A and B are shown apart, each in its own frame.
Chain A
């Protein structure tokens, strides 16, 4: 599983390097574009995702202790928190849509930054979209874990699947830990 996560580090790493290069090239445009992101929603979402990592860790803990009920409760809680995150993300996307911040012919922005800001928002949607896709996959795997916990496949000291889903989920959390300051919090003191 860790080897798979390494490929994921490099997968997201490619986007982070593109982000770094463009931010170094167009710092003013990135600052201006970042000001259009919603810090309260982003902060709440960060807290929600950290909370889901906690419940995931507790689910693995329950699995280690052979508590079927614990697995089901904490996996379900993790899925609820994951859904809240995606819901808030959806609200943010719809705001961007109404503010004409989707890159393309209808993109509207301060004229001097209109081209560079589209790069920022392309990266924003690409990185957060890919992150959201990972979360959807993670929650799909959790449905599987719920079934296995329910029908008794997990248990008797066999908990690797829960542990692996947990590693995946924490990885997705870490990606967001970096995305949040890099996308939302650029040059806010200005």
Chain B
């Protein structure tokens, strides 16, 4: 009854799932270790980069995005694009106001 399910028919070998699981655990360790190293502002960048990569491999392999149709890929990209618009416009607004930047109060003359 192939017409009953709309997901991907691709059966992923279980060793790929175990491999992704191992990578995710290692990256969790790396992200905790990296938090204790002083990288200045780069700490947040590194933490987010690792988180994005972890999210990416979860989406690609656990959620079978790698084997999905183009319309599903496009759907996800559209969602992330909207998220990008929210962040870009909101921060574009808040960060350019004189209420304070990065914790330092601006003294208005």
Interface, chain A (partner B; CB < 8 A): 2-3, 5-6, 9-10, 13-14, 17, 20-21, 24-28, 39, 43, 46-47, 50-51, 53-54, 56-58, 61, 64-65, 156-160, 163-164, 166-167, 170-171, 173-174, 177-178, 180-182, 185-190
Interface, chain B (partner A; CB < 8 A): 1-2, 4-7, 9, 11-12, 14, 17-18, 20-21, 24-25, 28-29, 31-32, 35-39, 43-44, 47-48, 50-51, 54-55, 58-59, 61-63, 72, 75-76, 78-80, 82-83, 86-87, 90-91, 94-95, 99-103
- Whether B59 lies near A61 (C-beta < 8 A) is no
Q: For the complex of A and B, list the 10 residue pairs with the smallest distance between their C-beta atoms, beginning with the closest.
A: A6-B79, A185-B35, A181-B47, A160-B5, A189-B38, A54-B21, A163-B7, A188-B35, A27-B103, A50-B24
Nearest CB in chain B to that of A17: its residue:
B90
A21-B90, A177-B58, A188-B35 given; A27·B102 CB < 8 A? yes
- Whether B25 lies near A17 (C-beta < 8 A) is no
